[in-house]
Amino acid sequence: MEDPRRGQATARAVGTAGSAAVAAGGLGAGAPPVSRGWAGVEVAPGLAGAALVCVYAGLALLLLAWWWYGRALRAAARRPRGVRPVLVTLALWAAPMLLAPPLFSRDVYSYLAQGAMLAAGLDVYESGPSVLGGPLAAEVPAVWQHTPSPYGPLFLLAAQPVGALAAGHLGLGLLAGRLLAVAGLALLVAALPVLARGCGRDPAAALWLGAANPLVLVHLVGGAHNDALMLGLLAAGLAAAVRRRPVLAVLLVAAAALIKAPAALGLVAVAALWAAQLRGRWPLPRAAAATLAAAAAVTAAMTALAGTGYGWIGALRTTVSPHNWSLTSTLGRLTALVADAVRAEDAIAAWRWAGMLATVVVAALAWAYRERLGAVHALGLVLLAVVVFGPALRPWYLLWGLVPLAAAAGDPRLRRALAAACAVLLLAVLPSGFAPDGPGALGLAALGVAAGAALYAAARWAAAPRPAWALS
Q: What is the DSSP string of 403-459?
A: HHHHHH---HHHHHHHHHHHHHHHTSS-TTSS--SSHHHHHHHHHHHHHHHHHHHHH
Q: What percent of the chain has pLDDT over 70?
A: 91
Query: pLDDT tens-digit profile of 308-320?
Result: 888 877 766 655 5
User: What are the domain boundaries of the chain?
Assistant: 4-311+393-463
- The arithmetic mean of pLDDT across residues 172-190, rounded, is 96
Task: Give the per-residue pLDDT at 252.
Answer: 98
pLDDT of 467 above 60? no
Most confident of 136-145, 172-181, 452-461: 172-181
CA 150, chain centre distance (Å): 17
- How far is residue 450's CA from residue 456's CA, in Å, rounded to a whole number? 10
Residue 348 pLDDT grade (very low, low, confident, very high; cuts 50, 70, 90): confident
Contacts of 434 (CB under 8 A, 6+ apart): 141
pLDDT attached to residue 131: 92
The phi, psi pair for 38, rounded to 5°, reads: -125, 120
At 294 the pLDDT is 95
Q: What is the mean pLDDT of residues 113-128?
A: 92
Please state the φ and ψ torsions of residue 132, each to the nearest 5 degrees.
-75, -40
Average pLDDT, the chain: 89
Q: What is the pLDDT of residue 335?
A: 83
Which amino acid, one-letter code, is at 2? E
Most distant CA pair in the chain: distance in Å? 76
**Do 464 and 1 contact (CB within 8 A), yes or no?**
no
Per residue in 212-261, pLDDT tens? 999 999 999 999 999 999 999 999 999 999 999 999 999 999 999 999 99
Give me Rg for the CA atoms of the chain.
23
**Quick one: DSSP state of residue 243?**
T
Instruction: Please give the pLDDT value at position 471.
Output: 46
Q: In the predicted model, is pLDDT for residue 37 greater than 70?
A: no
For residue 80, what pLDDT is reported? 62
pLDDT in tens, 402-427: 999 999 999 999 999 999 999 999 99
Tell me: the pLDDT tens digits for 267-316?
999 999 999 988 888 999 999 999 999 999 999 999 999 888 888 777 66
Percent above pLDDT 90 for the chain? 65
Q: Mean pLDDT over residues 424-432, rounded?
A: 91
pLDDT of res. 260: 94
Burial of 269 (0-12, 13-18, 19+ CB in 10 A): buried
pLDDT for 44: 60
Q: What does DSSP assign to residue 222?
A: I
Average pLDDT on 86-115 reads 95
Mean pLDDT over 145-158 rounds to 92
Of residues 319 and 398, more confidence is placed in 398
